[in-house]
Structure 1
Amino acid sequence: MLQMVKEVLANLSILISSAYLLSKISKTLLPHQSPLIHKLVMGLGSGITGIILMNFSISYQDSFLIDIRLVPLVMASFSYGGVTPLIAGVMIGISRLFYGLSPPIIGICFTYCLIGLSQYFISSWVKDKKAYLRLAFIFTSSIVLVILNFLIHS
C-alpha cells in the first residue's frame, strides 16, 4: 500500500512539475490563435511528459499497472488545441512500441495515435464552447477510445 502511495505521489509530482514548466513557456491558456511553432513546442512537451509518466506506472496488487499518460494529452487538447494533442498522442503511442511488439501494445499505440488525431478535430469544434463542455467532450472522446481498446483485447 505504501509503495502505491509513493508511486501516485511520483506521478502527481511529474504531472504538476511539467504543467508548471509548460505554463512558463506559454503565458496564457487557450492560445488557439498562437503560432504553429508554439503549438509544436507544447505538443513536444506534452508528449515527453506522457512518456515519462508511462515509465512511472502505478502498480496495483502487483498485477495491474495504472498510468496517467492520458492526462497530458487531455491537458494539451483543452489548453492549446489543434496540432498540440496530435503531436503528443503520436509521441506517446510510438514510444509505447519500444516495450515490444505484441498485439496489445500495437493496439495501445494505435489508440493513442487515434486519440491525438481525434483531439485535433474535436478541439477545433469545441473551442468556442464553455470550459466544462470542452473538457467533457475532450475527456469523453479520449476515454471511449481507451475503453474500446481494452474491450477489444480482453
Structure 2
Amino acid sequence: MGVNATVASVRQEFWIPQLRQLVKSVLHHCVICKKVHGKQYRTNIIPPLPEFRVQRKQPLSVTGVVYTGALWIKEGKQNLERVYVILFTCPITRGIHLEVVRNQYDDSFLMAFRKFSSREGFPSLMLSDNATTFVAASEYLKTMADSPLFSKPSGEH
C-alpha cells in the first residue's frame, strides 16, 4: 500500500510512536514490496557492430589472432614440452583456424601465419591484442609489402 496508507490504516486502531520510520524500515526490507514497486530492469544500450562485422565477405578475410596459454605435450617416453596454440578467428562467421607453435617468438608466428594464409587466403584485415609478437610481425610484414620484390606489376591496380 505504501507508507502513508499503511500508517493511516494502523493509526485507526493503534497509536505507535515513530510509526512512520518503522513502516519505512519494514517496507524497505520487504521482498514482495520490492518486486511490486521496484524499478523496471533497464537493458544496456548495445552499440552498433563495427562495419567489418556486418559485411558479406569470405570466411577469415577479416581475422582476429591470439595466443592461448601454454599446453604440455609428451614427446617420447618422458619428455614434456611446452607448446602454444595460435587461434585465428573470423569475427564475421565465427570460424576458427588453429596452429600449434613451439614458442611465442616472431619467427614462429610468421611461420604459422604463412601456413594459415596459404591455406585460408591472405586476410584483408588482421585484429590482435597488440602483443609484442604481433606488433613485431606486423612491422616485418609492412616492410615486406613495401619491398620492390613484392610490388604489383605496373599494369595491375
Instruction: Give me the TM-score of the superposition, normalised by structure 1.
Output: 0.30
Between 1 and 2, higher relative CO (CA 8 Å, sep ≥ 6) is seen in 1
Higher helix share: 1
Higher strand share: 2
Instruction: Give me the TM-score of the superposition, normalised by structure 2.
Output: 0.29
Larger CA Rg, structure 1 vs 2:
2
